[in-house]
Amino acid sequence: MDLFHPIDPVASGMLSVGDGHHVYWEVSGNPSGPVVVFVHGGPGAGTAPTYRRFFDPSFWRIVLFDQRGCGRSRPHASVEANTTAHLVEDMEALRRFLGVERWLLFGGSWGSTLALAYGETHPRNCTGFVLRGVFLFRPEEVDWFLFGMRNFFPEAWLRFMDFLPAAERADPLAAYMHRLNDPDPAVHLAAARVWCGYEEACARLLPPPTAQPETDGPGNLAMARIEAHYMVHAGFLDPDQLLRNLGRIRHLPCIIVQGRYDMVCPPVSADDLARSWPGCKLRLIADAGHSAMEMGTRSGLVEAVEEMKARIPG
């Protein structure tokens, strides 16, 4: 199966969630259908119109939102009052604002982290989970991002490291954090471009043909700054929190669609999650990396959401 046809939102707006933050939201699809909420990655990546197309608009009421500091939410690229707990409660505020009783959570990469954190905090408000590129924010997963991807993408990793002075390469996360939060745009935008280029270069089974994938996209600063902010703070989660609290949602259906060659979020985390969740279905896509838009993963996600039609409560 491929993506559904393009659709436009039927409603959208900005929700004040406190601390000076305003979160962009939109609703599309069937106004009276079961609700699915798209939990985007990063943290800091934001949403895009294409993401509506994972869902059958004749069946689902589709909710997209941009997390604090990214996409169309304001203030842009802000890490003030920006933690996992804040994002969980922003989702809950949005659920209440939209009059949603329960919703299916669809999240990939950091979106899988946040979907699990939300579900374990508000299990009664969830009908199930469709997850991709599982990331549990364990120290070894952050270490893999900073150092381990070198084993498969040495040229991308060298560009990532060579941006820094030699004396700062032992702790690249601290070095990038310093630059990404520098008030000078010439400093923080350059660091954001290289950070995002590194992740983008490693995100697909078949890397982009260009030797330098770094771009000056408008979302680079939010993506890099917020992502580094969360990495420095271990995702604002206690050690093994998501696996330890899994009993709160283990009764709910879950389908994981995971690229076999995901180098950003290696499959071991999806496997650990699935083995701890009886009834969870783990589907490894043989010819895919990390990106949700690779053909096998894209089709697998659409099929998983279609299967959920029969598995969620009516």
Neighbours of 95 (CB within 10 A): 20
Place of tokens 């294409």: 50
- For the chain, the farthest-separated pair of C-alpha atoms sits apart, in whole angstroms, at 59
Q: Hey, CA dihedral for 290, 294, 300, 305, is it positive or negative?
A: positive
Q: Is 22 exposed, middle or buried (0-12, 13-18, 19+ CB in 10 A)?
A: middle
d(CA 116, CA 120): 6
Identify whether the C-beta of residue 269 lies closer than 8 Å to the C-beta of residue 142.
no
Residues 6+ apart with CB under 8 A from 257: 130, 131, 132, 283, 285, 297, 300, 301, 304
**What's the token pair of residue 277?**
């969740």
Identify whether the C-beta of residue 264 lies closer than 8 Å to the C-beta of residue 149.
yes
**What's the token pair of residue 8?**
């436009």
Where in the sequence numbering do the catalytic residues fall? 109, 262, 290
Pairing between β-strand 61-65 and β-strand 21-29 as defined by DSSP bridges: antiparallel
What angle is formed at CA 294 by the lines to CA 292 and CA 295, rounded to 5 degrees?
A: 120
Q: Tell me, what amino acid is at 98? A: L
Place of tokens 């609700």: 35
